[in-house]
Amino acid sequence: RGFGFVTMSSVKEAEAAAKKFDGYELQGRQLRVNYGPPPSKKSFIKEPKEERNDINTNTVYVGNLSWSVDNETLETLFWEHGNVMQAKVYYDKDSGRSRGFGFVTYSCADEVYS
């Protein structure tokens, strides 16, 4: 299972990137892309989901990444939709292998929608 995070400069950029890249094929894998903040441990315990509907976020979730996708590849892919502040692929701490997902964060929340 692979994922990464890409930080966009706005919510509009993150939303547009999620819309464009959800289902996009990258290195032989079809991406699953969502936008929003990663869930915190606290949210699973105390914070009902309904209270989080008004959150403006500039972060999109990117799933089903190929094992060979790194932070730079993820950032390059999402850069065309806005000012990427951070693109992070998550790795297994024991094996060092990609976990197949990440997050992209844009510089402001409005860019997710552009």
CATH code, domain with 12: 3.30.70.330
In a domain, 45, yes or no: no
What pLDDT is attached to residue 46? 45
- 33 belongs to a structural domain: yes
Tell me the two tokens of residue 37.
């903040």
Residue 31 lies in a domain: yes
Q: Is residue 44 part of a domain?
A: no
Q: Is residue 22 part of a domain?
A: yes
**Residues in the chain, pLDDT under 50:** 43-54
Asked, for residue 48, whether it belongs to a domain, the answer is: no
Does residue 76 lie in a domain region?
yes
Number of domains the chain contains: 1
What pLDDT, on a 0 to 100 scale, did the predictor assign at position 43? 47
Q: What is residue 69's predicted lDDT score, i.e. its pLDDT?
A: 94
CB atoms within 10 A of CB 56: 13
Give pLDDT, residue 38: 60
Tell me what pLDDT residue 71 has.
95
For residue 6, give the H/E element and its range. Answer: strand 3-9
Q: What is the pLDDT of residue 52?
A: 44
DSSP string, 16-61: HHHHHHTT-EETTEE-EEEESPPPPHHHHHT--GGGGTT----EEE
Domain assignment present for residue 50? The answer is no
Q: Which domain holds residue 102?
A: 3-38+55-111
- What is the residue type of 83? N
